[in-house]
Amino acid sequence: MEKRPRTIQIFLPYGSPRGIKIAEITNRTVQAILIPRNEFNRISERHEIQNVGIYFLFGHDEENSKPQVYIGEAENCYKRLNTHNKEKDFWEVVVVFVTNNPQNQFTKSDVKYLENLSYLKAVENNRFYINQTIPQQTFVPEWRKADLEDIFNTIKILLSTLGYPLYESMRKVSETDESEIYFCSNNEVSAKGEYNEEGFIVFKGSSVRPLTTKAFKAKSKRDKLIEDKVIIEKDGKFIFYEDYQFTSPSLAASIVLGRNQNGWIAWKNKAGKTLDEIKRQ
């Protein structure tokens, strides 16, 4: 995602910072409407939600270790979302994208193209669990395709701003940048990762201690990662099969070491300085 200064306006139509939000980049014609599920009944009075658009249902599936997303499109977003509110259990928040220009609304072909593109890019990035059929690809002229791909970039930015980094790379630094890479190693494990604004990422290929202590509090989390094949057994060892984002350095270290662990002292850079020494002192 291109990093440059932008102005993003977020409007709270009902005054609550935890409620419905309408966000837009001030020089773009696309707006995002974030609706918590518990406020869904309120959106019937919003004209924006009656338009053609693309939407993202976010939530958690108890049987999966990753957050879940469902991507869809509709000619009338409110009617489609009303159906999802009655029939789909997993979602907690929906983010709808429509245009804020009455003379330049999305067409059905536009949103079907965006739905397909959004799905494929989400699968490629692999940060969220997706359980749906592949949206049908539709034909749009070359000139419109260029416009829609630019709109997709706006969608990515607004989703991340609203707290859903569906299309952001987990890793913010290169593995060659040793000053920002942290290690957790002993005679049983060798893991490395990155500390960022979302918590701590353990990198693919990091090893995990096979056994856990009796007092280990995160055993169910670890078992779930193994069940979902985020951690796999290979040649008698347990390793991370893919990068995985944890909410804190301590949870990441605890999973790696199989015991309750303070991640601020367990993770160290190549010079042997702890994460605590570098980031908190």
What residue spans define the domains of the chain?
A: 8-161, 178-279
* Whole-number pLDDT of residue 281: 75
pLDDT less than 70: residues of the chain: 1-2, 175-176
Contact status, residue 138 vs residue 127, Cβ threshold 8 Å? no
Q: Which of 147, 152, 92 is nearest to 121 (CA)?
A: 152
How far from each other are the two terminal CA atoms of the chain, in whole angstroms?
31
What pLDDT, on a 0 to 100 scale, did the predictor assign at position 27?
A: 87
Tokens (6 digits) for 42: 């309120």
Question: Distance between CA 9 and CA 242 in Å, rounded?
Answer: 35
Q: How far is CA 39 from CA 42, 87, 106, 274, in A?
A: 6, 17, 25, 44
Q: Are the beta carbons of 195 and 275 closer than 8 angstroms?
A: yes
As given in the structure block, the two tokens for residue 209 are: 């201690």
